[in-house]
């Protein structure tokens, strides 16, 4: 505007056109201030020009028809919402009941399996009691089974209790699958002979992984507090969990995220056998006769 | 008063006759109702301002409900149906509120 002549300053001109900052708020302003539909104003002006008086909403037949429509719509929407809510709840209840029923069935089948395994083991021991060679075979079978986590074991060991940060914390400060994996790996590296997490025995093929908000051990959900029980050299295990290098990361994580982390000795830990012992792909490299039976129950 | 009698009649009709709504139409009903309410309060407000017009009311009522349903429909197709429903409810909610406030000022002079 200070330039000579009537050519406008381009910068000022651009500022005048660039009203984006004004527009962004004007949309909201318009929404709250200009509430009466401009179409009404225009129609009223046209009618005033013709010299007619405005009709009344309350006696207008067009408005009445529209209001019948509104009432109909509202009643139908209302009844549909009312009907849909219990239906959703019913479906949910049904699903929960089915899950619980199937979980119970699975548990019962697991107990049966355990019993049958025991029976098989007993029968086998009886059959293999005749000669010294047979007893030798039974012995090696039993040690192989223990190594494969196929049978229940007991013995002295160490118990690690790992729990989520106290409530009022968000999901980020909950124990995750990798924390549990780390804890289990510490136990193995310290020479643990058998490890279980919340009662789920870990076999060679057992996975610990996250599924949504929960952690699955052997495809079964486990929840905080997580109890890692490891049978092995108590001194070595305790050392590994409390001061060892292997657990430094886990301990740092637990400290900074406010996890519960407690290690104690257990003199007679009882660990159940794992349910997944079937080896599908691998075949034993040595003489097959001794190993085969124990791995494919 | 014929208009309010119409509203009552519509509600009773809906409850008694209980028309079955096709499943694909169901998600759009609540928003159509909110949009229609916006038009009705706009009409009431215009009456009190003495500028009510039948044609404008009918057209705004029908277009409001249709546009609200259409926006949600396209939102559903694009995967943002929930957000768009929220946007419509917010905008129409503000408008209903300010229209009711204007009506209140007219009626109570406060």
* pLDDT band of A232, cuts 50, 70, 90: very high
Average pLDDT value for residue range B89-95: 88
Size (chain B), residues: 110
Given the structure tokens 């909201």, which residue do they identify? A28
Question: pLDDT tens digits, residue range A58-87?
Answer: 777 888 888 888 888 888 888 888 777 777
* pLDDT band of B27, cuts 50, 70, 90: confident
Q: Please indicate whether, in this complex, the C-beta atoms of B54 and A55 are within 8 angstroms of each other.
A: yes
Of B18, B26, B57, nearest to A62 by CB-CB distance is B57
B11, B15, B48, best to mutate vs chain A, most A CBs in 10 Å: B11
Smallest CA–CA distance, residue A239 to chain B, in Å, is 54
Smallest CA–CA distance, residue A173 to chain B, in Å, is 29
Q: Residue B62 is inside which H or E element, if any?
A: helix B54-78
Question: pLDDT tens digits, residue range A167-211?
Answer: 765 555 788 889 999 999 999 999 998 999 998 888 888 889 988
Cα nearest neighbour of A69 on chain B:
B10
Question: pLDDT tens digits, residue range B47-82?
Answer: 888 888 888 889 989 998 999 888 888 888 898 888
Q: Please indicate whether, in this complex, the C-beta atoms of B53 and A61 are within 8 angstroms of each other.
A: no
Q: Please indicate whether, in this complex, the C-beta atoms of B95 and A59 are within 8 angstroms of each other.
A: no
For A131-173, the DSSP string reads: SHHHHHHHHHHHHHHHHTT-S-EEEEEEEEEEEPPPSS--GGG
The token duo for A98 is 């089915």
Of B3, B50, B60, nearest to A64 by CB-CB distance is B3
Alpha carbon distance A116, A297 (integer Å): 10
Smallest CA–CA distance, residue A33 to chain B, in Å, is 8
Smallest CA–CA distance, residue B47 to chain A, in Å, is 6
- In DSSP terms, A99 is beta-bridged to none
Q: Please indicate whether, in this complex, the C-beta atoms of B3 and A70 are within 8 angstroms of each other.
A: no
pLDDT of A263 reads 92
Of A33, A65, A77, nearest to B29 by CB-CB distance is A77
């Amino acid at each position: 505007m200070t330039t000579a002549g009537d050519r406008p300053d381009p910068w000022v001109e651009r500022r005048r056109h660039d009203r984006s900052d004004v527009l962004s708020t004007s949309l909201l302003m318009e929404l709250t201030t200009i509430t009466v539909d401009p179409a009404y104003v225009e129609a009223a002006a046209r009618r005033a020009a013709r010299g007619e008086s405005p009709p009344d909403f309350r006696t207008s037949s067009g408005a009445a028809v529209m209001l019948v429509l509104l009432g109909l719509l509202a009643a139908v929407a209302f009844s549909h919402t009312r009907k849909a809510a219990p239906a959703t709840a019913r479906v949910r209840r049904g699903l929960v009941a089915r899950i619980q029923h199937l979980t119970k069935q699975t548990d019962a089948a697991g107990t049966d399996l355990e019993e049958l395994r025991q029976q098989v083991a007993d029968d086998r021991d009886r059959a293999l009691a005749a000669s010294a060679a047979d007893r030798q075979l039974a012995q090696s079978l039993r040690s192989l089974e223990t190594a494969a986590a196929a049978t229940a074991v007991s013995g002295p060991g160490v118990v690690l209790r790992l729990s989520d940060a106290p409530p009022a914390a968000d999901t980020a400060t909950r124990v995750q699958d990798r924390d549990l994996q780390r804890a289990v790996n510490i136990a193995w590296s310290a020479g643990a002979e058998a490890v279980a997490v919340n009662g789920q025995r870990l076999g060679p093929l057992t996975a610990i992984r996250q599924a949504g908000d929960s952690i699955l051990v052997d495809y079964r959900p486990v929840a905080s507090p997580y109890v890692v029980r490891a049978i092995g050299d108590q001194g070595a295990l305790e050392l590994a969990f409390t001061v060892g290098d292997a657990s430094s990361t886990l301990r740092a994580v637990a400290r900074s995220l406010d996890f519960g982390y407690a290690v104690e000795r257990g003199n007679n830990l009882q660990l159940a056998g794992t349910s997944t012992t079937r080896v599908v792909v691998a075949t034993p490299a040595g003489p097959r006769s001794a190993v085969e039976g124990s791995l494919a129950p | 008063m014929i208009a309010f009698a119409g509203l009552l009649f519509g509600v009773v009709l809906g409850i008694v006759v209980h028309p079955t709504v096709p499943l694909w139409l169901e998600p759009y009903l609540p928003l159509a109702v909110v949009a229609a309410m916006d038009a009705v309060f706009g009409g009431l407000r215009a009456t009190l301002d003495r500028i009510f017009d039948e044609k404008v009311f009918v057209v705004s009522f029908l277009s409001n409900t249709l546009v609200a349903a259409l926006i949600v429909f396209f939102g559903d197709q694009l995967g943002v149906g929930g957000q768009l429903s929220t946007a419509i409810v917010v905008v129409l909610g503000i408008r209903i509120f300010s229209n009711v406030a204007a009506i209140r000022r007219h009626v109570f002079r406060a």
